[in-house]
Amino acid sequence: MDSPDELPVVLITVDRGSDTLVLVRSDGKEARLPLPSPLFEPTSLLSRVSYPPTFEGLVVETLNGDSIVFELPRLDRADQLAGRLVVYLDQNKWRIVSDAMRGQRSGTADDRVAALRLAQWSTERKIILPVSSGHYYETTKWSDAEGRYRLGLSILQSSRGWQLRDPLQVWRDELRLMFRAEIGRSEERPPVVTLEPNSIHSAARGFVPSPAPADFPSRAAFQHEVLVSAVSLIDTMLDSEGGERGPEIGWTEANQKFSDWLDTHGGDAQQKRKAIDAWLLSDLRTKVAEESFAAGMTPEQLKDWGTASQPVQ
């Protein structure tokens, strides 16, 4: 902490070009400290990462000269939506926004006007355009490196660090809260649209974030977690090699097979409804068991809930 006779540090920057940590005082003077090792992989397109000690925001600059501004979460987890409307864009709409921001023609004239207005409102902090894990998956697997960079840059610039919590985690949270309510215990619902670090890919997928050093005090540990998460999100989206392009397997493949079977089965609406219910219960059985236990339900209470939840035939 600065002494009363010292001028405060107002900006902290990691500079890739010189491999230094740069501390800027309020009078503009700098102190440069060499980094013990490079912080960026060769495929990274990031050049500088800057933030004030007050932790009000993060600015990342790329090797191409573009800038990205992220809002950062507060230590006290206070609401930072500030009354802003949340607008979720599907991947194809992000393409229109990106093209419009670059002066390229896609969509209709009305689409381009609306896209530019959304980007402007996000910059002016009138709305929030959150990014999702789906946007990362779709964007990073694009083989056109230049197009991938421009689309990823537009998504990062307009989302400003706001994310949709991992849908698998949201699913589990909703089950747990439902069971908590069932036994008369209330619990605050985690926000789906958030600045919280490590939320876009959660523990529900087996993701384990890199921990802060053990000797960090709580505030420094929180800031470490936030910075690592934010910079990783930006770096991953813009990496020059893009993402993996493996086959779509697992839950997506299984659900597609069920959907295809349902389309060709030929049953009436009621039969299809029963098939969907059976599929849903089968898909949920492990999560129901785990989250009811986490909520504090006994096996008897879960059995009573399951019996009461069956639809009347």
pLDDT per residue as tens digits for the range 168-208: 889 888 888 898 888 888 778 889 999 999 999 887 777 88
- Strand 46-51 relative to strand 30-34, pairing: unpaired
- Spatial strand order of the sheet with 30-34 comes to 30-34, 20-25, 9-15, 46-51, 57-62, 67-71
List the structure tokens of 224.
Answer: 């470490």
- Strand 163-164 relative to strand 20-25, pairing: unpaired
pLDDT of residue 222: 94
Residue 65 DSSP code: S
pLDDT of residue 250: 66
Task: Please say whether the beta carbons of 11 and 24 come within 8 A.
Answer: yes
Residue recorded with tokens 């530019």:
116
List the structure tokens of 162.
Answer: 């706001």
Q: HSE-up of 42 (CA within 13 Å, CB side)? A: 0
Phi, psi angle pair for 280, to nearest 5°? -60, -45
pLDDT of residue 249: 61
- Strand 57-62 relative to strand 67-71, pairing: antiparallel
- Tens-binned pLDDT, residue by residue, of the chain (313 aa): 455 457 899 999 999 999 999 999 999 999 999 998 888 999 999 999 999 999 999 999 999 999 999 999 999 888 899 899 999 999 999 999 999 998 888 878 999 999 999 999 999 999 999 999 999 999 999 989 999 999 999 999 999 999 999 988 898 888 888 988 888 887 788 899 999 999 998 877 778 888 889 999 999 999 999 999 999 999 999 999 987 766 666 667 777 788 888 888 767 788 888 888 778 777 777 888 888 888 888 888 888 887 775 544 4
Name the region of 217 (left: φ>0; alpha: ψ -120 to 50; beta: rest).
Answer: beta
pLDDT of residue 266: 63
Other residues' Cβ atoms within 10 Å of the Cβ of residue 312: 3
SS3 152: helix
| d(C-alpha 54, C-alpha 121), whole Å | 25
Contacts of 309 (CB under 8 A, 6+ apart): none
| d(C-alpha 40, C-alpha 235), whole Å | 9
| d(C-alpha 221, C-alpha 211), whole Å | 8
pLDDT of residue 4: 47
| d(C-alpha 233, C-alpha 161), whole Å | 9
| d(C-alpha 243, C-alpha 11), whole Å | 32
SS3 241: coil
Task: Please say whether the beta carbons of 214 and 224 come within 8 A.
Answer: no
- Strand 9-15 relative to strand 163-164, pairing: unpaired
